[in-house]
């Protein structure tokens, strides 16, 4: 079984592709995620003829939305997963009613992007540096493919701010820590100003709260049942505590008191 935070490191090798796909689809329809995504498009400073890259584009949900901002330009999605890129191509065509000729996808490892230097007006990355082996190298690559004066923009969570509302706060903290520690770069959100600031002149920094109020969404996005099972297996919580924690979440959901919370940092900079 694929554990979500590990699965995104190499999607095509993951056992449970549908699970990784479903999580991104659920995320994409949530208003707080849409809010920071749209703030990231604004930070790219694009003109209608702009050429923009979405690096680690996943299922490509951002590609048609970027195309609407650059109707006379072009959009290129890069990703390590051929399966995700295949979905992204179909999705772009469907979303733009077949007028997706200016959207391209390219199979590429972020540490070594298959692209010449100084090609794009802007490049963005969204919740993906958290999963890569060398985020500094990834940002250097994004900077390389952007022209001087162009913008690089990154949006990444800070998993130290991950909270699940619970009447059993000590257990809740152990469960959220178990998930966070499996993310390759769990504190990347707060490091973004330093990472982008080392390559670029910073132009934007904002912090965006993500509030989930439905337990079924949180179960998918945070792989909750698996995380409880792993915490029990590792001995951080007892079997009885795991059951009590899950029952409490159900009760809170039934009475409208369920919430989970996380913050995302959005940082952009200009190539000199
Ligand atoms: C959490 S998903 C985010 C996808 C998309 N940006 C979104 O907002 O839905 C992480 C993405 O990073 C990609 N990825 C992980 N490691 C990568 C690498 N080394 N090079 C390129 N893409 C990578 C995965 O294939 C996946 O599509």
pLDDT in tens, 93-148: 999 987 888 999 999 999 999 999 999 999 999 999 999 999 999 999 999 999 99
pLDDT digit string (tens) for 232-248? 999 999 999 999 999 99
pLDDT digits (tens, 9 = 90+) for 2-31: 999 999 999 999 999 999 999 999 999 999
Q: CATH number of the domain that 194 lies in?
A: 3.40.50.150
N-term to C-term CA, the chain: 45
Residue 232 located in a structural domain: no
Q: Which domain holds residue 11?
A: 4-159+184-211+263-270
Residue 221 lies in a domain: no
Flag whether 63 is in a domain.
Answer: yes
CA distances (Å), 23 to each of 26, 73, 79, in order?
5, 30, 17
Query: What residues are in contact with ligand 1 under a 6 Å CB criterion?
Result: 8-9, 11, 24, 56-58, 61, 79-81, 84, 109-111, 126-128, 131-132
Q: Are 247 and 198 in contact (CB under 8 A)?
A: no
Protein residue whose Cα sits closest to atom 13 of ligand 1: 56
Decide if 173 is inside a domain.
no
Structurally, the chain folds into a number of domains equal to: 1
Q: Is the pLDDT of residue 82 over 90?
A: yes
In a domain, 171, yes or no: no
pTM for the model stands at: 0.97
pLDDT for residue 1: 83
Residue 11 in any domain: the answer is yes
Read off φ and ψ for residue 27, nearest 5 degrees: -55, -45
Average pLDDT rounded to a whole number, residues 50-73: 97
Ligand 1 atom, smallest distance to 84 CA: 27
Q: How far is CA 264 from CA 17, 21, 69, 192, in A?
A: 25, 21, 23, 10
pLDDT at 98: 79
* Ligand 1 mutation target, pool 20, 35, 128, most atoms within 8 A of CB: 128
- Of 107, 61, 80, 83, the closest CA to residue 15 belongs to 83
- Within 8 A by CB and 6+ apart from 134, the residues are 111
| 241 within a domain of the structure (yes/no) | no
What is the Å distance from ligand 1's center to 2 Cα?
Answer: 16
Residue nearest to atom 27 of ligand 1 (CA): 58
**Could you write out the DSSP letters of every residue in 206-267?**
EEEEEEE--HHHHHHHTTHHHHHHHHHHHTSS-HHHHHHHHHHHHHHHHTT---EEEEEEEE
Helix (H, G, I), strand (E, B) or coil at 204: strand
Question: CA 171: distance to chain centroid?
Answer: 26
Asked if the structure places residue 83 within a domain, the reply is: yes
Strands 201-212 and 74-79, by their bridges, are unpaired
Beta bridge partners of 122: 52, 151
| Residue in 266, 264, 230 with CA at minimum distance from that of residue 245 | 230
Predicted confidence band at 194 (pLDDT cuts at 50, 70, 90)? very high
């Amino acid at each position: 079984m694929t554990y979500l935070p590990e699965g995104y490191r190499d999607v095509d090798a993951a056992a449970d592709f549908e699970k990784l796909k479903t999580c991104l689809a659920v995320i994409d329809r949530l208003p707080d995620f849409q809010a920071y995504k749209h703030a990231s498009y604004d930070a790219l400073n694009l003109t209608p003829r702009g050429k923009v890259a979405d690096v680690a584009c996943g299922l490509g949900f951002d590609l048609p939305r970027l195309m609407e901002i650059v109707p006379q330009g072009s959009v290129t999605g890069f990703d390590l997963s051929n399966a995700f890129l295949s979905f992204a191509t179909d999705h772009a065509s469907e979303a733009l009613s077949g007028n997706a000729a200016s959207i391209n996808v390219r199979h590429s490892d972020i540490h070594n992007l298959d692209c010449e230097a100084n090609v794009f007006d802007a490049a963005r990355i969204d919740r993906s540096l958290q999963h890569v082996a060398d985020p500094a190298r990834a940002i250097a690559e994004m900077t390389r493919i952007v022209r001087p004066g162009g913008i690089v923009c990154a949006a990444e969570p800070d998993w130290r701010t991950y909270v699940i509302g619970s009447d059993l706060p000590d257990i809740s903290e152990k469960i959220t820590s178990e998930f966070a520690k499996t993310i390759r770069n769990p504190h990347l959100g707060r490091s973004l100003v330093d990472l982008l600031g080392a390559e670029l002149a910073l132009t934007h920094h904002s912090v965006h709260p993500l509030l989930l109020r439905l337990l079924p969404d949180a179960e998918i996005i945070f792989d909750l049942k698996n995380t409880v099972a792993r915490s029990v297996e590792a001995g951080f919580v007892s079997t009885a505590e795991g059951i009590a924690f899950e029952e409490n979440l159900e009760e809170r959901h039934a009475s409208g008191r369920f919430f989970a919370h996380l913050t995302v940092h959005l940082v952009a900079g200009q190539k000199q």
